[in-house]
Amino acid sequence: MRVLIFHGYLLRGTGSNIYNANLAQALARLGHEVHLLCQDRDAGALDWVNGVGSWREGRLETEELRERRAPGSATVYRPEIGGLLPVYVKDSYEGFEVKAFPELTEAELERYLGANVAAVEDVCAAAGGVDAALANHLVMGPLILARARGLEGFAAKVHGSALEYTVKPHPRFLPHAREGAAAAASVLVGSRHTAESLWAALPGLGLEAKTRLGPPGVDLREFAPAEPGTGGAELRQIAEGIEAGEGGEDFGRDPAAGAAALRQVAAGGGPVVVFVGKLILSKGIDLLLAAWPLVRRAHPDACLLLVGFGGWEEAARRMVTALDEGREEELREIARRGRGLEGGEEGPLPILSAFLEQAPEGYLEAARGSAESIAFAGRLEHDEVAALLPHTDALVMPSTFPEAFGMVAVEAAAAGVLPVSAAHSGMQEVSAELAPVLPEELRELISFEVAPGAVEAIAERLGRWLSVPEGERRRVGAELRGRVAELWSWEAVAEGVIAASRGDLARLPSAE
């Protein structure tokens, strides 16, 4: 079966990038011929990509790179969009002029849409037609496939960012979202929370009847527990790979700093807590940093590793320094300015501000010297995260903004690591599925409310978990992994995408 996927972004990093890379591989393993449109300039370096297509003087040319290693194949195409990449959360990407969707002029938006519609039509023609198709992101993927000739039907996959960061706060994009969603044979969401948010944003289209649960999957071969005592050597090996440039193009990546961070953690010898995600306030990074001195007071040898990059990174580093030096007024200023420090509107961070107003006795003293226990690794590739996670003791996903699914939490659980997630949106649904395998006295550790007291709640959960004997933690980790194996696999995700594209809704779980 020939399957077309429109993604429009990269195939490395986190979130939808990883979803599409893994989906393409799973489809190829199942014997399908995959045609994936994205903007990854180095896609040909990925060992599962059999060929790459690009446009030269307006004509599509495809270069075969390697023979199949799966029954099927994967060809990646990079539409020529003129170097302007519209995004939902603004970051810098080397080689692109990046604008958030609301910053686009109408002419820029129409050029972007037109270029991608034409590219989809060219790929369909070159492939001899397609049997199934998937459009990623509420805008603009579904609209692009809706307008492209040569497609009989497609499924739309709503990841969350386009809905929450672009469509809902900026009504200008409602017509684009409605046109694309209305044309889709079905709509896939990672959680019921995302479904309800979608239905509220796009009423009157009958989306409730064709929305189905389609969460991401996890590769249990890649995310797996490690042998005890191998962490230091493994982290040093990842560091060496980063320095050797094995991660492809350096989008948001400082190889020297990343390698140094991993070596710092490897040398620590104590328990490791990890955060994986964008360094932006919506991911709750301020809450985790504020909680860390309390964790370290109970576990002085613990280390916090921050994996990711984003607009609040400079402020995060500044917060670490202020904690390290006990500068209370600077901490209050950071909390007071909030999103102003990542380019948004200035305004206080309510939870952090409330915590600093009534910080526990001795908090600033506990914070002094904490910088040596916090490491910024920058962006890691997905396989590097997979290699890293088994050598950590807990992962924190403290997002304050809705998440379509708790994919990072699922991957941590697959590696036998306890995920501590915010108790809302798709993260809460993941936690609810994982919690039953935990001993009853530990179940509350897996999530916390994003409300006043969240800083203390994060610290308390991490502190209790790190106090559990290592053998018991490993036993619980094995139970978490078993639960992941029951619920999520990429092959099942791939089969669901094909069914969704063909409107075979009876085969998919309802989101209602």
Domain ranges for the chain, please list them: 2-217+489-506, 231-487
| CA proximity to 75, closest of 147, 138, 145, 126 | 126
Decide: 433 and 410 in contact? Cβ < 8 Å.
Answer: no
Paired tokens of 277: 């995600």
d(CA 250, CA 93) in angstroms, rounded, equals 9
d(CA 225, CA 414) in angstroms, rounded, equals 8
Q: How high is the pLDDT of residue 160?
A: 87
Decide: 19 and 160 in contact? Cβ < 8 Å.
Answer: no
List pLDDT tens digits, range 371-418: 999 999 999 988 999 999 999 999 999 999 999 889 999 999 999 999
Q: In whole angstroms, how far apart are CA 260 and each of 255, 265, 368, 380, 486? A: 8, 9, 22, 13, 37
* CATH architecture of the domain formed by 231-487: 3-Layer(aba) Sandwich (3.40)
Integer-rounded Cα radius of gyration of the chain: 22
pTM: 0.76
d(CA 398, CA 287) in angstroms, rounded, equals 7
Q: How high is the pLDDT of residue 225?
A: 96
Q: Same fold for the domain at 2-217+489-506 and the one at 231-487?
A: yes
Decide: 266 and 231 in contact? Cβ < 8 Å.
Answer: yes
d(CA 44, CA 47) in angstroms, rounded, equals 8
Helix axis angle, 350-357 to 328-337, nearest 10°: 160
Q: Which amino acid is at 103?
A: E
List pLDDT tens digits, range 74-126: 999 999 999 999 999 888 788 899 999 999 999 999 999 999 999 999 999 99
The stretches of 172-221 forming alpha helices (DSSP H) are 174-183, 192-201, 207-210
Decide: 437 and 483 in contact? Cβ < 8 Å.
Answer: yes
Chain centroid offset of residue 13 CA: 7
All residue ranges of the chain with pLDDT < 70 are: 246-252
Q: How high is the pLDDT of residue 250?
A: 54
d(CA 67, CA 488) in angstroms, rounded, equals 29
Q: How high is the pLDDT of residue 13?
A: 78
Task: Tell me: cis bond preceding 427? Omega within 30 of 0 counts.
Answer: no
Helices (H) and strands (E) in the chain, counts: 20, 17
Q: How high is the pLDDT of residue 11?
A: 95
The third-level CATH classification (topology) of the domain covering 2-217+489-506 is: Rossmann fold (3.40.50)
Q: How high is the pLDDT of residue 486?
A: 87
Q: How high is the pLDDT of residue 100?
A: 96
Q: How high is the pLDDT of residue 252?
A: 56
